[in-house]
Each structure stands twice: as C-alpha cells, then as structure tokens.
Chains A and B, each alone.
Chain A
Amino acid sequence: MLASFFRIVALVHKDLLAMFKDPRERGVLFVPPLLQCLLFGYVATFDLNRVYYAAFDRDRTAASSQLLAALDGSNVFRRVANPESPDELNTIINNGRALLAVQIDQNFERRLLSGQSADVQVIADGRNSNTAGTALNYVDIIVEAFNIQWRRAHGGASPPVRVTVRSWYNSNLETRWSIVSGLVGTFTLAEILLLTAMSVAREKEQGTFDQLLVTPFRPSEIMAWKALPPLLVGLCQATVVLLVALVWFRIPFAGSFLTLYVGISLFLLAVVGTGLLLSSLIETMQQALLVCFLIALPLILLSGMFTPLSSMPEALRDFSVINPARYMIDIARRVYLEGVGLDRLTADLLPLGVMASLTLSTGAWLLGRRLG
C-alpha cells in the first residue's frame, strides 16, 4: 500500500516537472485563466451603461426637451445625433451609429397639456435583439418616471399599483457578482479536460505510454498518476479565479472555503475522469484537442451560465443532468453569494460524485483491458 503510494507520488512528481519545466507550458496554464477571468468580470453582463441614441424631436417644446433631458441625464443614454428627417434617422440606425432612435411627434406638448396621452416612438436596432430589448426597458423606466413627475406637476392621480422589488444575496443585482462567482471552478472545465486528455495522448504519441504498461504499475495506479496532476492544476486555477473575485472585484464571500473546495474537487474529479475516459479512445494529440473541444463547448455553453436552462428545449434540459458545469455553477454561486453549507448542496454534490466515480472506474477498467 505504502509502496504503491510512493510509486504514484514519484510519477506525479515526474509529470508535474514535465509540465512546469517548459516556461511556455507554465504560462499557458496560469496566465489565460487570470486574463479570462478579468475579461468575464468586465464584459459578461447584460446590463447596459452606454446606449447611443438619436433624438428626432419634431415638437421642439418645453415638454419634449424635458423628456429628452431625462434621457440625457440618465448617465446611460448618450445622444449621438439629432436627425432632421426620417431618412437621416433611418441611415443612423442602419449604419449602427445608434442603438435607439427616439422620435417625438408634433403636438406632443399640446396633447399632454390638454390631458390626452401622447406617443413617443422608439425605434431599436434589433440586430442584437437582447441588447435592444434591455435598452427599450430603460426607456420605459425613464418615461414612467417622467409620467409620474408630469402628473404631479399638472395634477393627476398616482398609479394604483406600485411595484417594489427586493433582491436577495445580490442587492444591487450586479451581474458581475453572479458571473465571476459562477466561474470559480466551472472555468477550469475546458482547460483541465484538455490537459488530461492531451497528457495521455502525448505519452501515446511519443510511445512512452506503452513503456509504462510494461512496468509493474497497476491500472489504478496509472489512473491515479494521470488524474492527480490535472487535479492539482485545476485547484490552482480555481484559486486564481477565486482570488480575482475576492481581491480584484471585491465580491463579498458569504460561505466557507472548505465547502467550496469540496465542491471544486468533486467537480474536477468528474472532469478529469471524463478526460481519462476520452483518452482511452484517443491515439493522437490532434484527436484529443478536437474531441475535447467538441465536448467542452456544449458543456460550457449549455450550462446555464449564459442563457437560462429553463428556456432550453426539454430534451437538452434533460441532457444537462450529465453536465458537471451545471452543478459547479450552482455550487460556486450558492456557496459564494448565499453561504450555504454542504447539507444544502447534496443535489449538486451527489451527481458530481456519481460522475467522478463512474468515469474514473470505467477509465481504469478500459486501461486494465489494454494491459490484459
């Protein structure tokens, strides 16, 4: 038992040395996670803080400028043009110079003063309909505020239903908090899968894998040897992301680090197991790269990180049951933002544990067959 342990340690040591002796390999393992994490933190949001718009004011009265001033004063809307004709307005939208065009018709003020309702036309560039929809929502909010102000100034009833909104765990609904906290762990998926499969493929391509098979190592030992280095690298990468979240973005951590690392370790074991399972089917590094992409991409994009799981067709939603990333996002966010303990995470930890043990044992079995 002890001898077996020392043998594995020696092999892991050898792999880690091989991995870190090349400065370029060292670089590709740790610099990209850092940069990408910053990238995600700054870019991955559906909130808008800069909406370029064009204002076509055909009324040119105190009321219409008051409404436009409300847009301009919002810190979000930036007026880039004041078109004088519908044609000019069309060109601005077509060329993508502005996301929105706000058109206020003649008689705007007259209708308002006479107690009628007045229309404001808003044209949005739907080439990215999600961004456009968000921007339109912002317009609605500003117009609603304008309405309340106008009523108050000109004597009218206040709306009968008020909506108050409260948000748990992330009171300002900062997208960055959700995205960056969800990345802790999940983020390593593609890299670790690739690392695992490629390290076996490299040994196969260079012929050193077959040499190992003739040594007295047992299949389980070889599995442990190939699983541990990526596991360690993955833990380091997850720590890098966690540090960025804590130190750079200063997102408050509500849970326990121990719980988080239990989750990350189980997730990494499931990923490494998948990688090892794949590598038993793979002979070259090219195949490893291609197969890993083919698998990692759907796992990441369909994990619920970018688009909600409940909007997916049923078949794909069922498929996500075997997606380790889905569970990791849940664990990371809940531990990080909500501070839940292990007892509330069984629904996530259990599937990960099952995946890890299934993939690792199948991998060892396949390896044993190759030996036999």
Chain B
Amino acid sequence: MTAQHDRAHDPLTARIRRTWALVKKETRQIIRDPSSIAVGVGLPVVLILLFGYGLSLDPTNVPIAVVLEDASPDAAELASTFQLSPYFATRLVTSMAQAEELTIARQVDGIVRIRPDFSRQLRSAGAEVQIVVHGGDANRARIVQGYAEAAIGQWTIRRMAQGEDVTNGPVVVRDRLWFNEANESRYFLVPGLIVLVITLNGALLTTLVVAREWERGTIEALFVTPVRAGELLLSKVVPYFILGVFGLVLCMLAARFLFHVPFRGSLSVLGGGSLLYLLVALGLGLLISTTAKAQFVAGQITLTVAFVPTLMLSGFIFDLSNPPWAMRLVSYLFPARYYVALLQTVLLAGDVWAVILPNAAMLAGMAILLFALTRAATRKQLD
C-alpha cells in the first residue's frame, strides 16, 4: 500500500517525507527518555565546569618539608623563600628524620635540606642544598624539583643584587611564551576539554540508537518499509546533531565567559571546524552502533574508542611528538588530534591557515568515511 502510494509521488518528495517521519519518531523517542537530553545538554555543562575548575597543571600549595639544620640568617632567609612562595605549602622541621617521616606518610611531596654548615660553605667553597623528591608520582616529583630549583636560583640572584659576591651566569635566557603569556594551563586544557566533551557527547548520543533497534527487533520492522539505508541513517543523525550543537554552544560560552580563554581566530572557522568534528563524533557512534548490534558491546567499544584515545592520543594533555613511532602512527587514526590542533590554534593563535586547512580536511575526510562505512554496513543488513 505505502509503496504504491509513494510511487504516485515525486520520488524526491517521498524520500524527504519518509526521512522526516523517521526524524519525528527519533525526536519523540529522545523527548520520551530524558537521559539523552541530559547527555546532550547536561553532560557538557557538568564536565566543562567540573574540569574547567578542577583540572590545572599549575602547581600551587605543593606540600614540602624544609629541613633547617643551620640556624644562620642565610639559611633562614632561604627557608623563608619557600614559605612565601605561592607554589609551596611549607612545613619547617629541624631534622631530616622528621622530614623523612612526613614524606613516607605522604604528608609532603618533597624535602629541601639546608645543611648545618650552609652559611659557612656559602662564603667559602659553595654551599649544597639537597632536594629529595618522592618518585611515586614522577610528574609531580619533577614539578617539585623544578620549582624548588627555581626558588633557590631566585634567592641566589637576589643575594647577588644586594652586593654579595655572587656571579651571575654569562648567558641569560629570556623566554617568552607566545599565545599564552600568562602561562595558564587552563588555556590549553579547556580547548582540550571541549574536544573530550564533544567526542563523548556525539559518540554516546548515537552509539546505542541502532544497536537498540537491533536488540528490540524494531530494525526488522523497518526493513519491510520502503525506508532506505541512507534515510534511516539521516534520521538518526539530524536530531542528535541538533542536540549536540546545544552542548557545543554551551561549552564555547563557558570557555569564553567563565574561563576567559582568549579567542583570537574567527567565529566562522571555530563554528565550521566544531560542527565538522561533531559530525565525525556522531558518525563514530553510529558506526559502532551499526556494527556492534548489541548495546552492551557498543557501550564498551565506545568507552575504548572514543574516550581513552581522546584523552591520551589527542595532544590534549600529553605531547604527541614523544611516544614511539608506532604510537604516533596510531594517533593519526583518531580524529581527536586534528580537532585539538584546530581548536587550540583558533582560540589561542588565530586563523593560521597552515594549521587549520590540513586539520579541517582530515576531519571532513573522516566524517565522509565514517558515514560511508555506516551506510555500507546498514545496506548489507537490509539485503
């Protein structure tokens, strides 16, 4: 009946009408189960607020113990450098044993030891300050080490300026951090977070929608209707795309107005690149859903394919030129790295076409590939 009815009309209008009907059905399903709205809008807001405020690589209040074995004014002055520093929460102790006990109990992350003859040595052969760090968390240990060394270095320079006989290094490094003059880790973490949120948002929204129809048997009911694979696919994308855009806009607003991330590029590049990436994320979820056919498996795969690589292989937190070549090669397979590069550039550096064009091209290619694969997988099942 329906097929005859359709043939009577222009095939294009029939196609649009069928797709529209499916979109309406999908939208009703979304409204009936508020959990997808919660993901589309709630998840981005919660994640961006939580992580925007919570994640920071800038050390503050690092607990350390300063062992003051020397009672001289020089030693006390050096110790007070640590006490006044915003980076450290200093605990003054007088013996190494006390400091070691604090370290083993994990009350402090490191020890700065000023030896009994510090003052005397300072005026003769050169004094030694010992830093002990707890290697249990090596990243943290390095931060403690770096900042402690810097604090001691500053103290040395200050003494020199006061006319004490201390020579400065002949070569002085003057460094400048472009695009992030204030050295705020938030400026690069927030763009990274947006990538994470959109990936999860897009992939989670669609990852179950086809698998669910398979599990419940409703997909077979769809097979006997004149609906084509492409139309089915389109109806699964449109509503979630709109939902995803809401989340995206909320993320961007939070980045700009709550976290004051600079915005140096143009809105059209930002919008275009982000919508492209949202499509990639939705496509990834749909492909997983179509091939897994079971919600349980689809959920676990999404966790593996969407979440972990976005965190680890995108340049969001960890630098990508470091890992062995095999890992670097793998990182090119996941879309997140292209969007991270694009977003960090648009926000912090501006419209640098040499960075934007190749990354946008890769995203577009991936979106096409993902949807083509999903379509192919759907058609095979229809036969």
Residue numbers of A with Cβ under 8 A of B are: 22, 24-25, 28-29, 32, 35-36, 39-40, 42-52, 67, 91, 93-96, 99, 112, 115, 117-133, 136-137, 139-140, 143-144, 146-147, 150-151, 156-171, 173-175, 177-178, 182, 190-191, 194-195, 198-199, 202, 205, 284-291, 293-294, 297-298, 301-302, 304, 306-308, 310-313, 316, 330, 333-334, 337-338, 344
Contact = CB atoms under 8 A, between A and B. Distances in A.
A95 B352 contact: yes
User: Interface size class for chain B?
Assistant: 35 or more
B275 interface: no
B174 A175 contact: no
A129 B323 CA distance: 19
A67 to B, nearest CB: 7
A124 B183 CA distance: 11
A72 B191 CA distance: 32
16 contacts: A22-B297, A24-B292, A24-B297, A28-B304, A46-B319, A127-B344, A129-B188, A132-B177, A140-B173, A158-B126, A160-B159, A162-B127, A163-B131, A165-B145, A293-B204, A311-B59
Given A120-B174, A126-B181, A177-B135, A164 B128 contact: yes
Contact of B54 (A136, A288, A302): A302
Contact of B322 (A45, A93, A171, A301): A45
Given A43-B313, A122-B176, A157 B131 contact: no
B173 A117 contact: no
Contacts of B122: 160-161
A105 B185 CA distance: 30
Contact of A163 (B61, B149, B309, B344): B149
A124 B315 contact: no
B35 interface: yes
B12 interface: no
B298 to A, nearest CB: 8
A346 to B, nearest CB: 11
Contacts of B55: 301-302, 306-307, 312
A372 B208 CA distance: 33
A160 B123 CA distance: 8
- In this complex, which of A32, A173, A198 has the most chain B Cβ atoms within 10 angstroms of its Cβ? A173
B138 A128 contact: no
A43 B316 CA distance: 12
Nearest to A301: B51
A119 B35 CA distance: 59
Interface in B176-226: 176-181, 183-185, 187-188, 200, 204, 207-208, 212, 215
A234 to B, nearest CB: 14
Contact of A24 (B129, B145, B178, B294): B294
A264 B51 CA distance: 26
Contact of B137 (A120, A157, A333, A344): A333
B136 interface: yes
Nearest to A310: B61
Interface stretch (B39-47, B229-237, B249-257): B39-47
A254 B148 CA distance: 28
B169 A129 contact: no
B130 A293 contact: no
Interface in B296-315: 296-297, 299-304, 307-309, 312-313, 315
Given A45-B318, A302-B50, A126 B171 contact: no
A168 B169 contact: no
A26 to B, nearest CB: 10
A137 B142 CA distance: 11
B36 A43 contact: no
Given A173-B135, A293-B204, A96 B56 contact: no
Contacts of B53: 312-313, 316
